[in-house]
Amino acid sequence: MNKDFVVTIDGPSGAGKGTLSQLLARELGATLLDSGALYRLVALSSLDKSIAVDSVDELAVCARDLDVQFSSSASGVRILLEGRDVTTAIRDERVSMQASAIAALEPVRAALLQRQRDFAGHGPLVADGRDMGTTVFPRADFKFYLTASAEARAQRRYAQLVAAGETVDMARLVADIEARDERDQSRASSPLRPAPDARIIDSTELNIEEVLQQMLLHVSVPGGAC
């Protein structure tokens, strides 16, 4: 087994990718790539700079020049955009919708591609997103596609946002999630779909620990299965 092995976790919003990729990375001693955060950062930066969604060239420059730092802290990974802590700001629903819109633009995806690939090759990597197993790391060692019913995903997201102190309109949240799913799946450039060699896990009826155990069953690392 390659010491720089790559595990990819793709799937729709609220399927549990972020949660499971963190747990799996901890179990495997791997670095984490939260590719959605990169799209969210371009979205936030473009909203801050009032760049319109149809200004494709400007958005691509924004993605290419993104000044971002991921720093570990006691409360988890903090994300800095041009030195400003935007860890919470990028999770805002307005940013989610903007991220989904700009993620459909091929020049933006192309501008982020190498930045994502650069995470590999420095030890094991767990990469979370929509096209990790299809486009960014097509030769990954282990690929997962995590999904759950739209209702379960919306309920999870609702609980997560309420716990973070936000006021959430459930009907709006469901509509937003469905709109993002539709856009992610139907775009021409790297649409959301399982890689042919991905293991599909439906977590609708599974808790987080059960999903983690299923994943660990299929990831074997040097020194034996873990």
Ligand X SMILES: Nc1ccn([C@@H]2O[C@H](COP(=O)(O)OP(=O)(O)O)[C@@H](O)[C@H]2O)c(=O)n1
Q: Binding site: residue ranges?
A: 11-19
Q: What is residue 159's three-state secondary structure?
A: helix
Considering the complex, what minimum distance in angstroms separates the CB of residue 16 from ligand ADP?
Answer: 3
User: What residue spans of 86-223 are helical by DSSP H?
Assistant: 93-102, 106-117, 150-163, 170-186, 208-218
- Please, are residues 170 and 158 in contact by the beta-carbon 8 Å criterion? yes
Residue 207: which of ligand X, ligand ADP, none does it interact with, CB under 5 to 8 A by kind?
A: ligand ADP
Which positions from 142 to 181 touch ligand ADP by CB under 6 A, shown as an x/- string?
--------------xx--x---------------------
Which residue number, 19 or 100, has a Cβ lying nearer to ligand ADP? Answer: 19
Interface positions, 197-216, toward ligand ADP (CB under 6 A): 203, 206-208, 211
- Please, are residues 131 and 12 in contact by the beta-carbon 8 Å criterion? no
Residue 19: which of ligand X, ligand ADP, none does it interact with, CB under 5 to 8 A by kind?
A: ligand ADP
Residue 156: which of ligand X, ligand ADP, none does it interact with, CB under 5 to 8 A by kind?
A: ligand ADP
Interface positions, 134-193, toward ligand X (CB under 6 A): 180, 184
Rounded to whole angstroms, the Cα distance separating 110 from 105 reads 9
DSSP annotation string for 40-61: HHHHHHHHHTT--TT-HHHHHH
Considering the complex, what minimum distance in angstroms separates the CB of residue 155 from ligand ADP?
Answer: 8
Report if residue 18 touches ligand ADP, rule: CB under 6 A.
yes
Of 130, 137, 132, 138, which Cα lies nearest the Cα of 15? 130
Q: Which residues contact 145 (CB under 8 A, 6 or more apart)?
A: 9, 10, 11, 133, 194, 195, 198, 199, 200, 201
Report if residue 100 touches ligand ADP, rule: CB under 6 A.
no
Report if residue 103 touches ligand X, rule: CB under 6 A.
yes
Which residue number, 81 or 201, has a Cβ lying nearer to ligand ADP? Answer: 201
Q: How far is CA 187 from CA 54, 121, 225, in A?
A: 15, 29, 37
Considering the complex, what minimum distance in angstroms separates the CB of residue 180 from ligand X?
Answer: 4
The residue ranges that bind ligand X (CB under 6 A) are: 13, 18, 35-36, 39-40, 96, 99-100, 103, 129-131, 180, 184
The residue ranges that bind ligand ADP (CB under 6 A) are: 11, 13-19, 156-157, 160, 203, 206-208, 211
